Structure 1
Amino acid sequence: MLRLPRTLLDMDVAERYCVGDEISAWVSGEHLILDLTSEDESGDWDEDAENSLSAVVGVRAELGAGDLRPLYIAWLSAFGRWERDEDAFDHTAEDELEPPVPAGLGSLSAGQQALADFLRLDPDLLAVAAEASPAPVVVKDDPRRLAKEIAKLTETEKDELLLRVVRDQGAQVRMELLRRFRGEPGGDTDDLPRRSVAELLDAAAERRQEREREEAARHAAQEARRERERALARERKLEKLAADEEGAWLRVNEMIGVKKAGEYDMAVELLRDLRTLAERADRLGDFRRRFALLRQEHLRKPSLIERFDRAGLDRPLPV
């Protein structure tokens, strides 16, 4: 929940972004209260919620300065819940048009991104919405123009403003004056075409599917490259082993003699390579005879025999 002075956020503006119980606003004295809700259907406790709220709090000042992106983010997250809960809204809500799209949705501030994360806004849905958002306008106030605007204030207005500054309302006074001199924000986006909720959700689903296809293709290409690298490394290993097969059989016996699980595993791996070499050289019968003798020699080592059986070293190689 956020509380802002009514002079900084008009109720009529806030209501355009309200959605049922998810996003609501009401007036309390001189302030406007915004209630932004996001529920996790799993019911799991969120350990990082407090940290998230600390990051989100900056959007209050942004709203006060006339930046309506936090309101649009909240509206979008409310309907984004439909993708997680099919019963969240009645089907008639599909035809509801989006509120005015503020500028700069494609480049959120840290607080706005924290708000989007806190409200579980789907990144694909946000990206689709941002396509209709114009680039933010960088406002550079001309000191001479500001001086002229201030000169237009009456003495009574100036006295009231100075009194509020003394009463520690300086930041609010500054925002009110800038809003007064610059005009109300968002007016230039009111005439932009509006998309329906269904159009936004469908476009987000298409974008998500395309992104997942691209990610799957990248993953497949990376896995294929890693497989080629593994195959090349194995070939180099086998070439080196082929130059000294007898030495490899001696190392197998040495590893087994250590009587440790790790050495047993390395011995089995080396035997696999020796069997592959024998298969390639059409000497598989020789390998099987030597392996049978090795197995018989160490028959009283159940842990080793179990590894032999698991590796299937005396079974035919897979085609």
Structure 2
Amino acid sequence: MSEYQYYEFAAIDRPLTRSEMAELRAISTRAVISPHRFTNHYEWGDLKADPADWMRDYFDAFVYSTNWGSCHLSLRLPATAFHKAQLRPFITRTTLAVKSSNAHWILDWTLDDSENEDRFAEDDGSGWMRRLMPLRDELLRGDLRPLYLGWLAAGAALDDDAKEPDVPPGLAALSPAQQALVEFLEIDPDLLQAASAGTAASMPGGDDGAKRMTAWLDTWQTPDMKDVLTKLALGQGRDAERQVTSHYAAWLKARQPVVVDVPRRRMAVLRELAQSAAAVRQAREAKAQARREAKRRSQHDATLRRLMAAPHESWKTIDALAARGTATGYDQAMRLLVELAEAYALVFNREAFNHELQRFLVPHAKRGALLRRLADAGLWSV
């Protein structure tokens, strides 16, 4: 596996200016830079800057991946999106960090020292930004599931007495971006199953989006609507979208049902539930494997029975292949002989096959390479 580090930054709320792009170009001459992107794939060297500084100054999203099994996701959101008290319960020492600036929150999800070597050998990091970026919009809409997943990813490092944050609704039906975060952080699927057990089935309001939207619009005051339309007319579309998103998220939060006296589980309880979930999953997978094996065996037996409908044709083919006197011919003949031996055992018996094999070998008795292959396959004793 060759060494690499992959950096990708995205500017979402506003594009980079020419001056800012020039500043980035002065730091990296090989990077691909546009008003909305910075990407670079290092096979030697490193980025000569601190990504945290760039997230404060330029970008709204950052993905980092390396061949040695570490990856990182950062998202920058307006400071108005959350109160600090909302974020604090999800913070861990290892997987989810929260930083703040004057105008933003910066959320960092981290996976260090993955043991999945195949993943990082095959994945150069370039596909994660597209899959993970929708998390930012989900968080702006008040969806806390990405934060809970960040806490859950630290499961192995948490003490048994550590208590989980309040479990957000919909944990059992993750969005595609949230499922990508599960893969990105390599969250134990059994632990996720345990965490989602008994939680609210869906986000507030269910799937009736049109009715929710109509009810929300009825609450808007005329000055608020005029302000949004003015921003759109002045070309400030992203500011208008952020204002609408923030207003809608606040309305949704206000409509969330108040759940009283829901116990927060200790990590020890979640681990016990995960073990039970693993047992259920393994039993389910074993049944599925048994069904697949039975289907494969049935199909294989059907193939063998078709061979026995005209076994003389198979013997003619095998004889012609052996007569070539080549290694390729012998190998092809052996594959057919092994299959034919199974067919005879299924339909007749092995003695019938051995009798036909002796007849076949009469003209080929001096083909040592063929006989050795037969012996290796257990079809003939030299």
Q: Residue in 1 aligned with 2:128?
A: 52
1:263 aligns with 2:329: yes
After TM superposition, give the deviation of residue 17 of structure 1 in Å.
Answer: 0.9
Task: Determine helix, strand or coil for the equivalent of 1:101.
Answer: coil
Aligned positions, number: 293
Letter in 2 for 1:137: P
Query: Scaled by the length of structure 2, what TM-score is found?
Result: 0.63
State the alpha-carbon separation in 1 of the partners of residues 126 and 361 from structure 2: 65
**CA–CA separation in structure 2 for the residues paired with 1:106 and 1:203:** 15
Partner of 1:85: none
Maintained 8 Å contact 1:63/1:70: yes
User: Displacement of 1:181 after TM fit?
Assistant: 4.2
Q: Secondary structure at the match of 1:37?
A: strand
Helix, strand or coil: the match of 2:100?
A: strand
d(CA) in 2 for partners of 1:11, 1:303 = 77
Q: 2:164, 2:264 within 8 Å by CA — same for their partners in 1?
A: yes
CA 1:163–1:31 in 2, change beyond 3 Å: closer, same or farther?
A: farther
What aligned pairs does 1:162-173 form with structure 2 within 5 A after superposition?
169-173=239-243
Aligned-pair RMSD on alpha carbons? 3.9
Distance 1:144 1:234, change over 3 A: closer
Contact 2:164/2:266 (<8 A) preserved: yes
1:39 to 2:112 alignment? yes
Q: Aligned with 1:20: secondary structure?
A: coil
Structure 1 unmatched ranges of 5 or more: 83-87
Aligned equivalents of 1:116, 1:63: Cα separation in 2: 16
Q: 1:124 to 1:192 in 2, by over 3 A?
A: same
- The answer on whether the counterparts of 2:95 and 2:111 sit within 8 Å (CA) in structure 1 is yes
Q: 1:94 pairs with 155, 160, 179, which one?
A: 160
1:26 corresponds to 2:99: yes
Deviation digits for residues 257-315 of structure 1 (CA, Å, limit 9, x no counterpart): 3223343345555597499778546x96x7687577545xx42x432232243345444
Counterpart amino acid of 1:221?
Answer: R
Structure 2 unmatched ranges of 5 or more: 1-73
Contact 1:102 1:186 (C-alpha < 8 Å) held by counterparts: no
Instruction: Determine if the alignment matches structure 1 residue 210 to structure 2 residue 272.
Output: no
More helix by share: 1
1:71 to 133, 147, 154: 147
CA distance in 2, matches of 1:97, 1:13: 15
Residue type at the aligned position of 1:9: F
**Cα drift, residue 14 of structure 1:** 0.4
Pair 275,221 (structure 1): closer, same or farther in 2 beyond 3 Å: closer
1:192 Cα deviation (Å)?
A: 2.4
**2: CA distance, partners of 1:161 / 1:254:** 82
Equivalent residue of 2:280, what SS? helix
State whether residues 101 and 189 of structure 1, in contact with CA within 8 Å, keep that contact through their aligned partners in structure 2.
no
C-alpha distance in 2 between matches for 1:172 and 1:250: 76
Assess if the C-alpha contact under 8 Å between 2:228 and 2:244 holds in 1.
no
Contact 1:125 1:201 in 2 (8 A): yes
User: Does the aligned pair in 2 maintain the 1:66–1:184 contact within 8 Å?
Assistant: no
2: distance between equivalents of 1:227 and 1:255?
28
Q: CA deviation at 1:216?
A: 1.9
* In structure 2, distance between residues paired with 1:34 and 1:251: 67
3-state SS of 2:322 partner: helix
Shift of 1:51: 1.7
SS in 2 for 1:49: coil
Partner of 2:84: 11
d(CA) in 2 for partners of 1:234, 1:145: 66
> Is the Cα–Cα contact under 8 Å of residues 72 and 102 in structure 1 kept in the other structure?
yes
Cα distance, 1:68 vs. partner? 1.0
* Counterparts in 2 of 1:144 and 1:122: CA distance versus 1, 3 Å: closer
1:224 aligns with 2:294: yes
Structure-1 separation of matches of 2:160 and 2:146: 22
Question: What residue is the counterpart of 1:201 in the other structure?
Answer: 271
| AA of the residue aligned to 1:302 | G
Q: Which has the higher contact order (CA 8 A, sep 6+)?
A: 1
Q: Which residue of 1 aligns with 2:221?
A: 150
Structure 1 residue 13, shift from structure 2 partner = 0.3
* Contact 2:307 2:314 survives alignment (8 Å): no
Q: Are residues 75 and 192 of structure 1, via their aligned partners in 2, closer, same or farther at CA, if it must alter by over 3 Å? A: same
Identity of paired residues, percent? 27
